[in-house]
Amino acid sequence: MKLEDEHRKIKEFWDRKMSQRSKSPPQFRYQEYFYSKYKDRIREPILDLGCGDGEFLDMVCKDGRLDIYGLDISEVAVQLARKRLYPYLGESVDERIKLGDMILISNFFRKEFFGTVVCEGTIHQSTCTGARMTAKELHKVLAHGGLAYISTRSSSTIPAYATPIEEERETYRMVGEGGVVRCYFSREGVVRLVEDLFEIVELQEKEVILRVEGTPYKMWILVLKKP
């Protein structure tokens, strides 16, 4: 299946999931850890790639940082985020919270525009090829010296219903989740994902609890700097 068709299926999957997710209580997310630990180094404008319902950007706005942007593939997510962030952004919310695919970030934002980029649980929602394309797109839109935060699934916790895709390294078909593709990276794989693009400031494997299902799984937490 072509990458654009895979992403169309992922979009449909997340349109369905967001209606559940928006009604569930928030979990601890490591992007909040990143924001707290690196607060003095975070520069605006800030992009949340895969912004979902705007939870992280809402926290950022409450902290007084209003030069923010979001991009998500789900129309449902974008509408929820715009509604949530309207009190801070007003009429500019539609321009700042955009509907779009992560492999096309530079179609929406100019090169080296952002001081900081956050990508929580998003980059693995593709094939390995798509994830690498996204890393390259993040590199394009991040300013030199800027920080990027990425969290992505670890190969330590691959579900039993995940079927490997032979032609794509570390990529699986999620038979139990509507047949979408997803990456599960080894440590070597996640380093390979960002090599020649970013300096790795921090790399840790952490446990996360799924927000809707309550299932624990492992994530790689990366803090990166663009040289």
Give the three-class secondary structure for 39. Answer: helix
pLDDT at residue 25 is higher than 50: no
pLDDT at residue 49 is higher than 60: yes
Distance CA 52, CA 76 (A): 9
pLDDT at residue 127 is higher than 90: yes
C-alpha distances out from residue 131 to 25, 216, 218, Å: 28, 23, 18
Question: Domain of 106?
Answer: 3-225
Distance CA 32, CA 100 (A): 24
Predicted TM-score (pTM) of the model is 0.90
C-alpha distances out from residue 225 to 112, 118, 145, Å: 13, 12, 6
Contacts of 224 (CB under 8 A, 6+ apart): 147, 148, 149, 150, 194, 197, 198, 199, 200, 201
Number of domains present in the structure of the chain? 1
pLDDT at residue 15 is higher than 70: no
pLDDT tens profile 74-125: 999 999 999 999 999 999 999 999 999 999 999 999 999 999 999 999 999 9
CATH of the domain at 216: 3.40.50.150
Angle at 73 between CA 223 and CA 135, to 5 degrees: 30
pLDDT at residue 213 is higher than 60: no
| Structural element, H or E, at residue 220 | strand 216-225
Edge-to-edge strands of the sheet including 171-174?
162-164, 171-174, 180-183
Confidence of residue 170 (pLDDT cuts 50, 70, 90): very high
